[in-house]
Amino acid sequence: MTLALARDFSYRYPDSPRPALDHVSLAIAPGTFTVLGGVSGSGKSTLLRALCGLVPHFHGGEAAGELRVGGLDLRAHGPGELAAVCGTVFQEPETQVVMGGVRAELELPLEHRREPAGAVARAVEETALELGIAHLLERRTDTLSGGELQRVAIAAAMVHGPRLLLLDEPTSQLDPVAGDELVWLLRRLNEDFGTAVVVAEHRLERCLPAADRVIAMAEGRVACDLPPAGFLEWAATAAPALETPAARLFSLAGLRPPPTTVKEARAGVEKVGLRPPPTTVKEARAGVEKVGLRPPPRPAGPAPAANGARRLRLPWRRRAGEPPALALRDVWLEVEDGPVVLRGISLELAAGERVALMGRNGAGKSTLLRVAKGLVGPSRGKVERAGAVALLLQNPGDYLIHDHAVEDAGERGVASAGLLGREQANPRDLSGGERQRLALEVVLSGGPCAAVLLDEPTRGMDRVHRDELIARIDQLAGGGATVVVATHDTEFTAAFADRVVLLGQGVVIADGPPVDVLGGGRHFSTQVARITDGAALVPEEGAALLRAPVSVEAAP
Amino acid sequence: MSLVPVYRPRPSPLHAARAGVGAGFCCALALTGALYRHPLVLGATLVAIVAAGVAAGVGSEMRRSLVLALPLALLVTIINPLVYAEGGTLLVRGGELFGRRIDITLEATLYGALTGLRVVVIVVALGLLSAAVDPDELLRLFRRVSYRSALTASLANRLVPVLARDAMRMSDAARCRPHPPGRLAVVRAALAGALDRSVDVAAALEVRGYALGGRPPRRRRPWSRHDLRFLGAALGIAAVAVGGAIAGVGEVQPYPTLELAWGAAVWALSAAIVLLAVAPFAGRAARLGVGGAP
């Protein structure tokens, strides 16, 4: 028995020259957990929109072939009827919550179905308990955090008991903690209630441990449809951009089979006896240094004070007498009638330094960038800037306000964004990655900057675009600008940063090289760091470490 | 912080009352403002509304409503003497504008001020409704009458702050550009962004089964003591206000000289409005969770 069945299903958006889905054939069985992978524009979101009936009924366009969901033929049934079988959750929680209160939000889908009041009350209560949001029922939706809002959206999609739950990058707006919690919540729904889950996600390492099956999309077609281990074998040769860091570590080290979880990876490393995992971070680091993968850490300044706030930490790259590109001195920000967002932040950032600003949602990262740029004045303390400061806020679309790309960024900016020949394109028609690049050129169009600040630039970005962004960051830092990136993405941080500042409740709680901050962390650590006990952060380092076993003398 | 009061659940008798009754209570106070121009009655109604707001824990929202209403009241106060030249006490002899003589009289100015006070009472009463009555529950009642209109109102209620935040964000992004664009360009982009948001919300509604939507079923809910007390107060205020207006209590004769009735009936009416408005908040029965205890 299948819950959803596609046979040679193709779809083309209105006015689009090429099909978004091209002869897709697949079957989703009840109770399975399926992850949809693929680079941006590969057709993941369109496939989800087809499964819930928005394609073609809501978006228009041309569809061909057969698609049945819960036995309902897409040609004859629209999203309203398919909603009885499947619940759908999109990427942006803000626009899929339609009512002012959480309880009303959960009641709405049932009222659409004219369920009696008793059934509505019971379904709302049970769904809230299942999803751990019973304490939010009386809250207003505009007071919820992103993670809470996403849970409410899932509850609203689940409240009528659909057999299939479709989610389009549900963790892209969340911090690592909330993202991991959400994936495990989905797994629990899948295991305890038999709900089939189909989730499209760029961060495959987050979802694969929960998945039964991975469907990889490429140019609108199903490129691979295998269990996680099989998918990772396939990705190693056919689509390296889709490999998880752990799988990439294994493929670079020549190990097989590729692991789907950190636990499997650790067991795999020990099993082949390549090298016993080091017992302490200190041992591990000594090993890495010995094989010459990483230079010993640069001498750091005095450690932060107990509250991490007041003590100045000298940057590693700054030469004596050279003024910092950007300095925050005892910066406080107290919102009127609101919380204290920044509490005595002191940071000095040298020219050419690449800094990752990390911390959970609400830690003060975005506010710190806004204060550094001067969009918000500090309540106390001061900000010193050696020159112009460019800030790219979270939504690149906010910078693109004209009808043509060239009007926003100029011809030079369009060329720097790699969009030569698309000067007259409407920015709204560009992909997420292209918009990001164009918006960055908009803020850089004023000439050389002392500091470039980027706020969550990798949200919803695939690895190909992420690597392009790293290349641009290297270029900017090479040109003498300090680049500060507020991000939740630990893998991205490990790949680009030479300093990590971790914020918690408006206070600097860690400040050091990535190997110190990410290697010694739990949530704020990379997958490779978890496998190698913090000895290596990225797959290339980890693989070299595994390939070159070393005997480590006890550190003095 | 929004200038318009926003509903937040609070432990108060007014918040505990059903939305229809809470709205009726606030509307009865607004009705009083609409029926009278007498300063004592309007002042008493304003005191009643503010007292009810403070008792309901929305005192700061009442203050914001006053801040919102005062410019409107001032505008009415200024415009009235410019438009009406009636009244026997000339304050300023103006010139002619478009063939019309502009004279400012004391009576027209005072009458403008009374109309302004009336505006304040109505706006603050609606502010109390906005701050203390659950809009979702209220609009649910209307969904039984006009499903699509009520849902549209719910969406507007939810999306206006979201769009305001979007516009704020775009304005910040404009400030981050080396050459900030004109305000018009930002407004145009914000409107285009609002259309995108609308499409996303429409898609979310579709997948929640909006197309199946019809009249939601009636919900049977037992009447609590708060429901009954506020219903009684609302009916009492409406009856006193309408009865008084029919009987000609608190009549105001603005021209040629301003005449106000100050008889016992006006004082009694004003006192009744204040007492009726604060009554549901008074006594042991108004306490949450203990009123029904033996």
- Integer Cα distance of A438 and A405 in angstroms: 8
**A455, β-bridge pairs:** A486
Q: pLDDT tens for chain A, 556 residues: list them.
A: 789 999 999 999 998 889 999 999 999 999 999 999 998 889 999 999 999 999 999 999 999 999 999 999 998 999 989 999 999 998 888 888 888 899 999 998 998 888 888 899 999 999 999 888 999 999 988 888 777 888 899 999 999 999 999 999 888 777 777 788 889 889 998 998 899 999 999 889 889 999 999 999 999 999 999 999 999 999 999 999 999 999 999 999 888 889 999 999 998 888 776 654 555 555 555 555 555 555 444 333 333 333 333 333 344 445 556 789 999 999 999 987 678 999 999 999 999 999 999 988 788 999 999 999 999 999 999 999 999 999 999 888 889 988 899 998 889 899 988 888 888 988 888 877 788 889 999 999 888 999 999 998 988 788 888 898 999 999 999 999 999 999 988 999 999 999 999 999 899 999 999 988 988 777 788 999 989 888 889 999 888 888 765 544 444 4
Of B8, B170, B204, the CB nearest to A140: B8
Order of strands across the sheet that contains A354-358: A389-392, A451-455, A482-486, A354-358, A499-504, A507-512
Q: Which residues of A touch B179 (CB under 8 A)?
A: 445-446
User: Is the Cβ of B219 closer than 8 Å to some Cβ of chain A?
Assistant: yes
Minimal CA separation from A170 to chain B, in Å? 14
pLDDT on residue A296? 43
Q: pTM of this prediction?
A: 0.80
Q: Do B217 and A116 touch (CB under 8 A)?
A: yes
Q: Do B204 and A98 touch (CB under 8 A)?
A: yes
Q: Mind listing the pLDDT tens digit for each residue in A74-113?
A: 989 999 899 999 999 988 888 888 888 999 999 989 988 8
User: Is the Cβ of A447 closer than 8 Å to some Cβ of chain B?
Assistant: yes
B 3-62 residues inside an 8 A Cβ radius of A: 6-9
B 140-179 residues inside an 8 A Cβ radius of A: 140, 143, 154-155, 157-158, 161-162, 169-170, 172-179
Tokens of B29: 């106070």
pLDDT on residue A327? 96
The beta strand positions in A169-282, using DSSP E, are 196-200, 213-218, 221-226
pLDDT on residue A281? 52
Q: Do A401 and B189 touch (CB under 8 A)?
A: yes
Q: Do A370 and B178 touch (CB under 8 A)?
A: no
The beta strand positions in A261-370, using DSSP E, are 326-334, 340-349, 354-358
Please give the residue of chain B at the shortest CA–CA distance from A118. Answer: B219
A 194-253 residues inside an 8 A Cβ radius of B: none
B 178-207 residues inside an 8 A Cβ radius of A: 178-179, 181, 185-186, 188-189, 192-193, 196-197, 200-207
Q: Do A78 and B205 touch (CB under 8 A)?
A: no
- Integer Cα distance of A414 and A411 in angstroms: 5
Q: 3-class SS at A108?
A: helix
Task: Say if residues B25 and B233 touch (Cβ distance below 8 Å).
Answer: yes
Minimal CA separation from B15 to chain A, in Å? 12
Q: Give the up-direction half-sphere exposure of residue A513: CA atoms within 13 A in the CB hemisphere.
A: 16
pLDDT on residue A146? 76
Q: Which residues of A touch B7 (CB under 8 A)?
A: 100, 140
Q: Do B203 and A99 touch (CB under 8 A)?
A: no
Tell me, what amino acid is at A176? P
Closest CA to A177 of A433, A360, A3: A360
| C-alpha dihedral sign at A493, A499, A504, A510 | positive
- Integer Cα distance of A522 and A192 in angstroms: 28
Cis peptide leading into residue B81 (ω within 30°): no
Closest CA to B11 of B226, B157, B158, B222: B226
Q: Which residues of A touch B217 (CB under 8 A)?
A: 111, 114-117
Residue found by looking up tokens 């407004």 in the block? B187
The Cβ of residue B125 has, within 10 Å, a number of other Cβ atoms equal to 28
- Integer Cα distance of A265 and A134 in angstroms: 37
Type and span of the H or E element at B187: helix B183-207
Candidates A366, A401, A426: best to mutate against B (most CBs of B within 10 A) is A401
Strand pairing report for B259-260 and B252-253: antiparallel
Candidates A398, A408, A449: best to mutate against B (most CBs of B within 10 A) is A398
Q: pLDDT tens for chain B, 294 residues: list them.
A: 566 788 988 999 999 999 999 999 999 999 999 999 999 999 999 999 999 999 999 999 999 999 999 999 999 999 998 888 788 888 888 777 777 777 889 999 999 999 999 999 999 999 999 999 998 888 888 887 787 888 888 788 777 777 888 888 888 999 999 888 888 888 888 888 888 888 888 888 888 888 776 677 777 888 999 999 999 999 999 999 999 999 999 999 888 888 888 899 999 999 999 999 999 999 887 777 644 443
Q: Which residues of B touch A77 (CB under 8 A)?
A: none
pLDDT on residue A355? 97
Q: Do A375 and B172 touch (CB under 8 A)?
A: yes
Task: Say if residues B127 and B52 touch (Cβ distance below 8 Å).
Answer: no
Task: Say if residues A339 and A310 touch (Cβ distance below 8 Å).
Answer: no
Q: Do A104 and B197 touch (CB under 8 A)?
A: no
Q: 3-class SS at A456?
A: coil
Q: 3-class SS at A32?
A: coil
User: How high is the ipTM of this complex?
Assistant: 0.78
Candidates A95, A105, A436: best to mutate against B (most CBs of B within 10 A) is A95
Tokens of A230: 């099989």
Q: Which residues of B touch A397 (CB under 8 A)?
A: 193
Task: Say if residues A467 and A538 touch (Cβ distance below 8 Å).
Answer: no
Q: Which residues of B touch A53 (CB under 8 A)?
A: 206-207
Task: Say if residues B259 and B253 touch (Cβ distance below 8 Å).
Answer: yes
- Integer Cα distance of B114 and B37 in angstroms: 6
Phi-psi region of A304 (alpha: psi -120 to 50; beta: other; left: phi over 0): beta
Q: Do B170 and A401 touch (CB under 8 A)?
A: yes
Minimal CA separation from A104 to chain B, in Å? 6
Of B140, B207, B217, the CB nearest to A114: B217
The Cβ of residue A553 has, within 10 Å, a number of other Cβ atoms equal to 9
**A392, β-bridge pairs:** A454
